[in-house]
Structure formats: structure tokens, C-alpha cells
Amino acid sequence: AQSVSQHNHHVILSEAASLELGCNYSYGGTVNLFWYVQYPGQHLQLLLKYFSGDPLVKGIKGFEAEFIKSKFSFNLRKPSVQWSDTAEYFCAVNAQGDSNYQLIWGAGTKLIIKP
Amino acid sequence: SQTIHQWPATLVQPVGSPLSLECTVEGTSNPNLYWYRQAAGRGLQLLFYSVGIGQISSEVPQNLSASRPQDRQFILSSKKLLLSDSGFYLCAWSAGLAGANEQFFGPGTRLTVL
């Protein structure tokens, strides 16, 4: 069965630190990849997505993610975090050719930024 | 702009009681609609999706059912709740297939079954 792993369930950083959240998936075919974020008290919302083309994808609020096919990874990065980045981050994967209504979700990473 | 509503926000129900959670979308037509359940420390699990009125697909066999009586209304129901039905339920919509389109999520309903 397909799965998505987010290795860090909780991450605590200080402001201005660099961030990298890991996401690995288990599917050998073509994939669509997503990062969603849920800020405290807000709805889950799309941060960025990758379908094809440049494997380095830029999203909102200075976030980016790199798709490395050989490593089955889609890690989320931000060079300098802010207190307002405190949120829970979810990686999700769709296997093209599979049920296209189905996203496989990671368990999420709770990020806390200390001011 | 589009908005998505869910109610109630929280619900405490006894085992064996019925359930009805409602989700409505505004500002769009013919959306694809989804019900998810999120357990603590786990990702979202797709329960049901609908591509149109009266069209419901179930991803996971369970004690729950879904209905779509109107284009922008999606209801999650149960005839008899189980303890294991406790969780956080999210409704979402997308303009196209979830695997290839952004999904927009509602605020969720926290269900506790006692």
C-alpha cells in the first residue's frame, strides 16, 4: 500500500533558523505532490504543489520544496523562519493513474517557532 | 469568493446515537466534495467523495454514510455511533480531481463519542 512518511512529528526552532521538513512516499510511478499547512485557528490550506517540470517548487510565504525522484522525497524548506510560521504541516501525495480523488497524507509535523 | 462551512464545530454524543454533520460550500458550482477524518498524530483519511448530486463514493467501509442532497451540500451521517467514530472530521471541496487540484477545507467538527 502507498504511504507517506513525515519523519519529524514535532520541530522547535528559533526565529531566523533554517527549516527543512522531510516527506518521503512509497510509490514508484508518477506522482503529484502537495504541502498543506494549518495555522493555529485557521483552516487547512495549500502551501505549494508539484505536478511536473522544475523539481524546485516555490510556494507562499517564502516556502519551497524540492522533488527528488530518486529518493522518493519532497522536502519542505524555508531559509529563515518567522514566529508566524508556527503551524502544522502536512505532506500529501497522489499517484497518477491511481484513484485521482485519493490523496495519501502524512501524519503531519507540528512546527513551533520560538520568538 | 468561495467559502466552506461546517457545523457543528464540536459535538459530544453517546454511543448508539445518530449523527448528522453538515457541510455547505458557497461561491462555486458543481464542486467535488470530500469528507475526511483526522486522528491525532495521523494524516487525513478520506472517507467519502462526491462528484455530483446523489453521487457518493466510499473509500473506507465503516459505520458512516454520506449524502449529497444539493449541489453544494454534503452530509455525513451515522445511524448508531461507535466509540471509534470519535475524531476530527473535515469537509473539503475542489474544482477538479483532488489529486490534481487544490482542495479547500472547512473548519472541521470535533466529535466525541462517550
Instruction: Say yes or no for a CB contact (<8 Å) between A102 and B99.
Output: yes
Instruction: Judge if the upstream peptide bond of residue B8 is cis by omega within 30 degrees of 0.
Output: yes
Distance to chain A for B93, nearest Cα, Å = 11
B43 touches chain A (CB under 8 A): yes
Q: What is the pLDDT of residue B12?
A: 97
Residues of A in contact with B107 (CB under 8 A): 43
For residue range B56-99, list pLDDT tens digits in order: 998 876 889 999 999 999 999 999 999 999 999 999 999 987 77
Query: pLDDT tier at A98 (50, 70, 90 boundaries)?
Result: low
Q: How far apart are CA A18 and CA A13, in angstroms?
A: 8
Query: Most distant CA pair in chain B: distance in Å?
Result: 39
Across the interface, whether the CB atoms of B44 and A100 are under 8 A apart is answered no
> Model confidence over B28-62: pLDDT tens digits?
999 999 999 998 778 899 999 999 999 999 887 68
Architecture category of domain A4-114 in CATH:
Sandwich (2.60)
Inter-chain residue contact B106 with A43, CB threshold 8 Å: yes
- Coil/strand/helix, residue A92: strand
CA–CA separation, B49 and A95 (whole Å): 17
Of B43, B6, B29, the closest CA to residue A34 belongs to B43
**Interface size between A and B, measured as CB pairs under 8 A:** 64
* pLDDT per position as a tens digit, A67-97: 999 999 999 999 999 999 999 999 999 987 6
CATH fold of the domain at B17-109:
Immunoglobulin-like (2.60.40)
Confidence (pLDDT) at B97: 79
Q: Are the Cβ atoms of A43 and B107 closer than 8 angstroms?
A: yes
CB within 8 Å: A107 and B41 = yes
